[in-house]
Structure formats: structure tokens, C-alpha cells
């Protein structure tokens, strides 16, 4: 069964606790029981539990961290300072950047951060593979002589001027793309540079790029892509009751950034039992209320569940006239 994230909500709908489980079906009840035994007040404060399945434990961890940052739930005090989780940091403020494993990301100003990762072992493995593949330096300060890493051909040795800052910067940029999960995108550029290096008889550079290309396969770990394209995508789904006398409709928003799930916003809306609005009217009011005043507009939007042609004017006004494509099914 898939891993995922669960959210405890209060009667007012506020998130009071966010947790993750490796397997929602098998483990979530044990997990919840342990939490509740440790602090029964979570249960007393909660009126509902919501589940968001993910495609991997790492994705669950990222989503959990993102939701905790978003909601600041009162029972997640332990996770609020991110102490337990490792990140990878590219020290872009340095002329020859390094890739470090860090546990207190907020202290790393001027660094590009990736993570959190599920454990130090996973993060360290990825760090070593990327550093070796792109021959990034390990030393804290550049000495005047090269160390063993240069002789093992896993560092391009800026310490002795074997590579200049521009060339090293290209390798750092490629490493960043790999850490962002876009390793395959840089393959054509690496191949082209390898060929041109060989033509210019820069055989060492060409061999380095050949090794980097070989390393790309091993570095292909990435999150499950749930939506195409870059930037933020909002996926909205409407659950309309068969029996309108239940007085509630639900609209959920899934926020996806660069193909990764970053958060959820469920909304329960009250409807009139005597004169219930149809689904189109529910959509119209919801979109107008949230996107018309306040919510940041996404790069693309998907609507699921009972979307009729009557919605076209407001979709045009809010999104399409601003160049935001809307897809519905
Ligand atoms: S080869 Fe030079 S730049 Fe690379 S890790 Fe060793 S000392 Fe640092």
C-alpha cells in the first residue's frame, strides 16, 4: 500500500497535527495509536483525519515538511525546526561551490537547498554520487596542492588551476539540475560538450563528461511526476452530494510545484437545503471567492468533477484571459 501523509483537523477545520506513514493502510493506525497514547490531547482537539497518498516515502516526507511549514500545527513542535532531517546544500556563495550535507538548513544562507531526505544514508549516498560525477571539490579551503581526489579523478582540482571558475560553474549547474530531478534534460548538452571537447583535443574534459553521462542513470532518483510542466499547478476536485439535503459540498485543492505535490487545501462548503445550487454555481462561487481575491494564480489549473460549459465565462475572466490554461474532465 502507498505511503502518505495524514492531517488531523479541529472542528473549525484547522490543522492540529501532520504526520507521515510508510504505508497508510498497514501502519497508519498503529502510528496514530502511538501518537495518541503519547499525547491524548491530539485526539481531543481533532474532529477529522485526512489522508494524502504519495508515490514514495521521500515524497511523503517532503509533503509532510511542506504542510507543517504551511500550517504550523500546534502538535508538530518537534518538526518545526527541521532538526531531524538532512538536506543537501550547494554553497553558491563560494567561487568553487561544494555540495554539503546539512541538518540546519536555515543557517546556510547563500546556499541552494535540496531535501529533506528520509535519512542521512540516502542523502549521503546522493551527495557522494553527485560530487563524484561532477568532480566537485571536498576541501573547506583550497590548498596549493591537489589531494588524492584529483589523482582518483573524482575532483577537477580548482586548487591547482586544473579547471577555471567558468568551467567548474557549468559542472555545478549540471549537478543542480540533477538534484532538481532533471538529470535527463542535461544529457544532450553534456553529450554535445563531450564531442566538442574531443574535437578540440581536450581529452581530459571529454573523459570527465563521458563519466558524468555514465553517472546520470544512477542519479535518476526523482519524485513521481503528477503534472506536466514547470511552475505551480493547481488541481481542484469537487465532490457534490447526491442528496443535497446533506448541506455540504467539498472542494479540494492539490498544489503541485515542478511536478511535486506541495500541499492540500480541503474546503467544506455549506449549501442551502431548500434551494441547493448546482455544481456549476458551486464552482463559480468558489473560484470567484478564492482566486478572485487573494489566492496566488497558478501557471496552469485542472478541474475535476462536474464542470459544465456554464463555467466558461468565469474561467475566462479569472484564468484564460491572463494566459493561464484550464483543463477539465
Ligand atoms: S583536489 Fe584540490 S580542490 Fe579537489 S578536494 Fe582535493 S584539495 Fe580540494
Answer whether 205 contacts ligand 1 (Cβ < 6 A).
Answer: no
Whether 81 and 116 have beta carbons less than 8 Å apart is answered as no
Q: Report phi then psi at 290, rounded to 5.
A: -90, -50
Whether 80 and 50 have beta carbons less than 8 Å apart is answered as no
* The three grid cell numbers given for residue 73, joined into one nine-digit string: 500545527
Long-range CB contacts (< 8 A, 24+ apart) of 30-39?
32/6, 39/75
**Whole-number Cα distances in Å, 103 to 107, 182, 268:** 9, 24, 38
Residue pLDDT tens, the chain, 329 long: 677 888 888 888 888 888 877 766 665 566 566 665 555 566 677 777 777 877 777 677 777 777 777 777 877 654 343 445 678 889 999 999 999 998 876 666 778 888 766 667 767 877 888 898 889 999 999 999 999 889 888 899 999 999 999 999 999 998 998 887 777 777 888 888 888 888 888 888 888 778 777 766 555 544 343 444 567 788 888 776 666 566 667 777 777 776 666 666 667 676 666 667 777 877 887 787 777 766 678 888 888 766 678 888 888 888 888 888 888 76
Whether 87 and 105 have beta carbons less than 8 Å apart is answered as yes
Q: How much is the mean pLDDT over the chain?
A: 76
Give the distance (Å) from ligand 1 centre to CA of residue 215: 20
Overall fold of domain 4-78:
GIY-YIG endonuclease (3.40.1440)
Sequence ranges of the domains in the chain: 4-78, 87-219, 232-328
pLDDT, residue 96, reads 96
Count Cβ atoms within 10 A of the Cβ of residue 173 and give its class: 0-12 exposed, 13-18 middle, 19 or more buried.
Answer: middle
Q: Which atom from ligand 1 is nearest to the alpha carbon of 96?
A: 3
CA distance 215 to 183: 10
E-assigned strands of the chain? 4-9, 15-21, 48-53, 87-90, 99-102, 112-114, 232-239, 248-257, 260-270, 300-304, 326-328
Ligand 1: residue of 91, 98, 136, 139 to mutate (most ligand atoms within 8 A of CB) is 139
User: 314: how many CB neighbours lie within 10 A of its CB?
Assistant: 17
- CATH class belonging to 232-328: alpha beta
Give the distance (Å) from ligand 1 centre to CA of residue 167: 16
pLDDT tens digits along 247-293: 667 777 777 776 666 666 667 676 666 667 777 877 887 787 777 76
Answer whether 151 contacts ligand 1 (Cβ < 6 A).
Answer: no
Minimal CA–CA distance to 253: which of 289, 277, 220?
A: 289
Amino acid at each position: 500500500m502507498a505511503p502518505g501523509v495524514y492531517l488531523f483537523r479541529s472542528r473549525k477545520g484547522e490543522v492540529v497535527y501532520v504526520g507521515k506513514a510508510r504505508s497508510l493502510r498497514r501502519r497508519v493506525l498503529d502510528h496514530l495509536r502511538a501518537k495518541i497514547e503519547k499525547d491524548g490531547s491530539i485526539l481531543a482537539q481533532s474532529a477529522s483525519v485526512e489522508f494524502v497518498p504519495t508515490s514514495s516515502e521521500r515524497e511523503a516526507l517532503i509533503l509532510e515538511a511542506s504542510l507543517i511549514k504551511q500550517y504550523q500545527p500546534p502538535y508538530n513542535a518537534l518538526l518545526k525546526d527541521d532538526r531531524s532531517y538532512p538536506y543537501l546544500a550547494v554553497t553558491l556563495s563560494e567561487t568553487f561551490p561544494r555540495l554539503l550535507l546539512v541538518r540546519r538548513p536555515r543557517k546556510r544562507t547563500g546556499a541552494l537547498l535540496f531535501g529533506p531526505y528520509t535519512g542521512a544514508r540516502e542523502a549521503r549516498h546522493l551527495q557522494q554520487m553527485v560530487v563524484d560525477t561532477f568532480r566537485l571539490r571536498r576541501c573547506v579551503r583550497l590548498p596549493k596542492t591537489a589531494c588524492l581526489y584529483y589523482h582518483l579523478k573524482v575532483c577537477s582540482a580548482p586548487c591547482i588551476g586544473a579547471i577555471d571558475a567558468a568551467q567548474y560553474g557549468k559542472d555545478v549547474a549540471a549537478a543542480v539540475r540533477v538534484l532538481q530531478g532533471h538529470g535527463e534534460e542535461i544529457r544532450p548538452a553534456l553529450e554535445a560538450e563531450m564531442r566538442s571537447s574531443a574535437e578540440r583535443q581536450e581529452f581530459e574534459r571529454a573523459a570527465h563528461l563521458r563519466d558524468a553521462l555514465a553517472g546520470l542513470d544512477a542519479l535518476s532518483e526523482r519524485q513521481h511526476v503528477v503534472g506536466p510542466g514547470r511552475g505551480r499547478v493547481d488541481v481542484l476536485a469537487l465532490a457534490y452530494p447526491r442528496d443535497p439535503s446533506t448541506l455540504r459540498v467539498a472542494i479540494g485543492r492539490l498544489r503541485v510545484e515542478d511536478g511535486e505535490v506541495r500541499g492540500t487545501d480541503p474546503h467544506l462548503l455549506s449549501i442551502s437545503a431548500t434551494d441547493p445550487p448546482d455544481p456549476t454555481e458551486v464552482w463559480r462561487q468558489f473560484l470567484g471567492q478564492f482566486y478572485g481575491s487573494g489566492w496566488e494564480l497558478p501557471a496552469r489549473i485542472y478541474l475535476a468533477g462536474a464542470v459544465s460549459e456554464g463555467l466558461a465565462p468565469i474561467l475566462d475572466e479569472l484564468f484564460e484571459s491572463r494566459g493561464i490554461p484550464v483543463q477539465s474532465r
